[in-house]
Amino acid sequence: MQHAGPPGKLIAFEGLDGSGQTTQAKLLTLWLDQRAGMKAHYTKEPTSGPIGTIIKRALLQPDHTKTAPELSYNPATLALLFAADRLDHLEREILPLLRRGTCVISDRYTISSLAYQSLELDPKWVRSINRYALSPDLTIFLNVPLKTCLDRIRNRHPQPELYENPATLQRVEHRYRQIIRALQRQRYRIEIVDGTPPPAEVHRAVVEATKKFFRKRRARPREDEDQIAALLKTPPLNPEEIRVHLAAG
């Protein structure tokens, strides 16, 4: 993975399915863009692009080997699709925004591939096919117990996606912990946030983790000190704002 160099910042959210990373990524985007005075853009993986659309079809039909064999991919093919979708995502959407100084919030990124695709494949190979992906400036991992994630998934929709089953998610959880420990030893910029409380509490913790990141960057060249100073003084969204946002979908 390559380190980000453009003026904008790339912040990635990671976590098990059901951890709430989509909700928190959207709330952080809203806070940055409408409260903290920093241009921000929400995006997600798999994308809605041509490659991402193929991936989504495969994920939404986990038991389609007999019913729709054309949607069945072996693990290596799926891993390559994820890596290709990520590079397409970077070129079409993320990099142009970063170059304009926009803060890009990505709902899932490279660590998801390392955690999910390495279940059936050599982790070194999965890393190698993602080596051209830009490293995020900050990764926020939502730490949520497996049982809580499974309960949330069941409440969200009755038909599980490809990886949304207890046995698989237990293995993914173990892989995430291994990856995070390794990245922390490499001084990778990753913040672990407890994702079990209500959304407003998790949002406050996410905002604090984001402020911690910008606080450390305040004195660096090319940084807008006034903008960062304003961001550091900005309170999180209040519970009512969050309730309205969640109700709007």
Above pLDDT 90, what percent of the chain? 76
Q: How confident is the model at residue 166 (pLDDT cuts 50, 70, 90)?
A: confident
More confident residue, 57 or 163: 57
pLDDT given for residue 225 in this prediction: 85
pTM: 0.91
3-state secondary structure the chain: CEECCCCCCEEEEECCCCCCHHHHHHHHHHHHHHHCCCCEEEEECCCCCHHHHHHHHHHHCCCCCCCCHHHCCCHHHHHHHHHHHHHHHHHHHHHHHHHCCCEEEEECCHHHHHHHHHHCCCHHHHHHHCCCCEECCEEEEEECCHHHHHHHHHHHCCCCCCCCCHHHHHHHHHHHHHHHHHHHHCCCCEEEEECCCCHHHHHHHHHHHHHHHHHHHCCCCCCCHHHHHHHHHCCCCCHHHHHHHHHCC
Mean pLDDT of the region 3-27: 90
- Give the pLDDT confidence of 117-135 residue by residue, as tens digits: 999 999 999 999 999 999 9
Q: Residue 65: pLDDT above 80? A: no
pLDDT given for residue 64 in this prediction: 45
pLDDT given for residue 217 in this prediction: 80
pLDDT given for residue 191 in this prediction: 97
pLDDT given for residue 156 in this prediction: 80
Q: Which CATH number do you get for residue 213?
A: 3.40.50.300
Mean pLDDT across the chain, nearest whole number?
Answer: 90
Domain count, the chain: 1
pLDDT given for residue 182 in this prediction: 95
Q: Cα separations (Å) of 179 from 115, 186, 188, 221? A: 7, 11, 11, 31
Q: Look up the domain containing 233 and give its range.
A: 2-247
In contact, 8 and 104? CB cutoff 8 Å: yes
